Structure 1
Amino acid sequence: MSTPQVLLSKAAALNLLWTSGRRINRFNGHVRVITRSASSAAHQKVCVVGGGPAGFYTAQHLLKACQDVQVDIYERLPVPFGLVRFGVAPDHPEVKNVISTFTQTAHHARCCYYGNVNVGTDVSVEELREAYHAVVLSYGAEGNRSMGVPGEDLEGVYPAKDFVGWYNGLPSNRELNPGLDCETAVILGQGNVALDVARILLSPIDELKKTDITQRSLDALAQSQVRRVLIVGRRGPLQIAGTIKELREMVNLPDTKPEMVASEFEGMAEALKVIPRPRKRLTELMLKTAVDPPAEKERQRRQAASRSWGLRFLRSPLEVLAGPDGARVAGIRLAVNRLEGTGDGSVAVPTGEVETMDCGLVITSIGYKSLPIDPAVPFDPRKAIVPNSLGRVQQAAGLYCSGWLKTGPVGVIATTMNNSFDTAHSVVEDLTSGCLDATSAKPGSTGIGPLLDKRGVKPVSFSDWEKINQEERRRGAAQGKPREKLLDVEEMLKTART
Structure 2
Amino acid sequence: MLRVAVIGSGPSGVYAAQDLVQQSRVPDVRVHVLDRLPCPYGLVRYGVAPDHEKIKSLQNNLRAVLEHERVDFIGNVEVGRHGLGPERLLELYHAVVYCVGAARDRRLGIPGEDLPGSRSATDFVSWYSAHPDSAGNGFALGARSAVVIGVGNVAVDVARILARGADELRPTDVPQTALGALSLSQVREVHMVGRRGPSQAKFTTKELRELGSLPAAQVLVDPADLSLDPAYADPSASAVSALPAVNRRNLEVVRGWAAQPPQSRGRRIHLRFFLRPVELLERSGRVAGVRFERTAPDGEGGVRGTGSYEEVEAQLVLRAVGYRGVPLPGLPFDEGHGTVPHAAGRVLRDGEPSPGEYVAGWIKRGPTGVIGTNRPCAKETVASLLDDAATLALRPVAADPLAEMRESGHRPVQWPGWLAIETAESALGLTLGRRTVKIPDWPGLLSAAGD
Contact 2:95 2:392 in 1 (8 A): no
Q: Which runs of 5+ in 1 are unaligned?
A: 1-42
Pair 373,273 (structure 1): closer, same or farther in 2 beyond 3 Å = closer
Residue identity opposite 1:93 in structure 2: E
Match of 1:50 in 2: 8
2: CA distance between counterparts of 1:365 and 1:427? 35
TM-score (norm 1): 0.85
2: CA distance between counterparts of 1:304 and 1:321? 30
Contact 1:335 1:354 in 2 (8 A): yes
Match of 1:37 in 2: none
Cα deviation, residue 273, structure 1: 4.4
Residue identity opposite 1:307 in structure 2: R
5 Å-filtered alignment, 1:3-14, equals: none
| 1:82 counterpart = 2:57 | no
Select which of 438, 443, 453 maps to 2:398: 443
5 Å-filtered alignment, 1:12-31, equals: none
What does the per-residue CA deviation read over 1:283-308, in whole Å, with 9 as the maximum and x for residues that have no partner?
11110111x2x4xxxx5xx5231210
Select which of 51, 58, 61 maps to 1:98: 58
TM-score (norm 2): 0.93
Match of 2:86 in 1: 125
Select which of 342, 356, 373 maps to 1:398: 356
| 1:305 counterpart = 2:265 | yes
Q: Name the SS for the 1:45 alignment partner.
A: strand
| 1:377 counterpart = 2:331 | yes
Pair 141,273 (structure 1): closer, same or farther in 2 beyond 3 Å = closer
What does the per-residue CA deviation read over 1:304-345, in whole Å, with 9 as the maximum and x for residues that have no partner?
31210011111111111111x2x2100111121111236xxx
Cα deviation, residue 398, structure 1: 1.3
Pair 151,74 (structure 1): closer, same or farther in 2 beyond 3 Å = same
5 Å-filtered alignment, 1:461-476, equals: 461-476=414-429
What does the per-residue CA deviation read over 1:463-495, in whole Å, with 9 as the maximum and x for residues that have no partner?
110000111122223435441111121221121
| 1:187 counterpart = 2:187 | no
Select which of 310, 314, 321 maps to 1:359: 314
Q: Name the SS for the 2:6 alignment partner.
A: strand
Match of 1:40 in 2: none
| 1:202 counterpart = 2:163 | yes
Match of 2:220 in 1: 259
Pair 439,145 (structure 1): closer, same or farther in 2 beyond 3 Å = same
Residue identity opposite 2:365 in structure 1: T
Q: Which runs of 5+ in 2 are unaligned?
A: 228-232
Cα deviation, residue 110, structure 1: 1.1
Contact 2:172 2:435 in 1 (8 A): yes
Contact 2:80 2:328 in 1 (8 A): yes
What does the per-residue CA deviation read over 1:79-101, in whole Å, with 9 as the maximum and x for residues that have no partner?
11110000000000111222112
Residue identity opposite 2:17 in structure 1: A
Contact 1:156 1:179 in 2 (8 A): no
Match of 1:13 in 2: none
1: CA distance between counterparts of 2:28 and 2:118? 50
Contact 2:3 2:95 in 1 (8 A): yes
Q: Name the SS for the 2:57 alignment partner.
A: helix
Cα deviation, residue 448, structure 1: 5.2
RMSD of equivalent CA atoms: 1.6
What does the per-residue CA deviation read over 1:241-268, in whole Å, with 9 as the maximum and x for residues that have no partner?
1111111110121121222111133314
Contact 1:186 1:232 in 2 (8 A): yes
Match of 1:488 in 2: 441
Cα deviation, residue 438, structure 1: 1.7
Q: Name the SS for the 2:174 alignment partner.
A: coil
Pair 182,373 (structure 1): closer, same or farther in 2 beyond 3 Å = same
Cα deviation, residue 442, structure 1: 2.2
Select which of 282, 286, 293 maps to 1:335: 293
Match of 2:193 in 1: 232
Contact 1:255 1:304 in 2 (8 A): no
**% identical equivalent positions:** 38
1: CA distance between counterparts of 2:134 and 2:165? 23
Q: Name the SS for the 1:129 alignment partner.
A: helix
What does the per-residue CA deviation read over 1:210-244, in whole Å, with 9 as the maximum and x for residues that have no partner?
11111101100111110011111111111011111
Residue identity opposite 2:248 in structure 1: K
1: CA distance between counterparts of 2:138 and 2:246? 38
1: CA distance between counterparts of 2:402 and 2:52? 38
What does the per-residue CA deviation read over 1:339-363, in whole Å, with 9 as the maximum and x for residues that have no partner?
1236xxx112112222211110000
Q: Name the SS for the 1:77 alignment partner.
A: coil
| 1:317 counterpart = 2:277 | yes
Cα deviation, residue 461, structure 1: 0.3
Larger radius of gyration: 1
2: CA distance between counterparts of 1:49 and 1:140? 10
5 Å-filtered alignment, 1:84-163, equals: 84-122=44-82, 123-163=84-124
Contact 1:265 1:287 in 2 (8 A): no
Match of 1:412 in 2: 370
Residue identity opposite 2:292 in structure 1: L
Q: Name the SS for the 1:331 alignment partner.
A: strand
2: CA distance between counterparts of 1:270 and 1:126? 58
Q: Name the SS for the 1:411 alignment partner.
A: coil
Q: Name the SS for the 1:465 alignment partner.
A: helix
2: CA distance between counterparts of 1:95 and 1:447? 34
Match of 2:341 in 1: 387
Q: Name the SS for the 1:238 alignment partner.
A: helix
| 1:288 counterpart = 2:256 | yes
Residue identity opposite 1:390 in structure 2: A
Q: Name the SS for the 1:269 alignment partner.
A: coil
Equivalent residue pairs, number? 437
Match of 1:30 in 2: none
Residue identity opposite 1:102 in structure 2: L
Match of 1:275 in 2: 243
2: CA distance between counterparts of 1:420 and 1:400? 10
2: CA distance between counterparts of 1:497 and 1:305? 47
Q: Name the SS for the 1:73 alignment partner.
A: strand
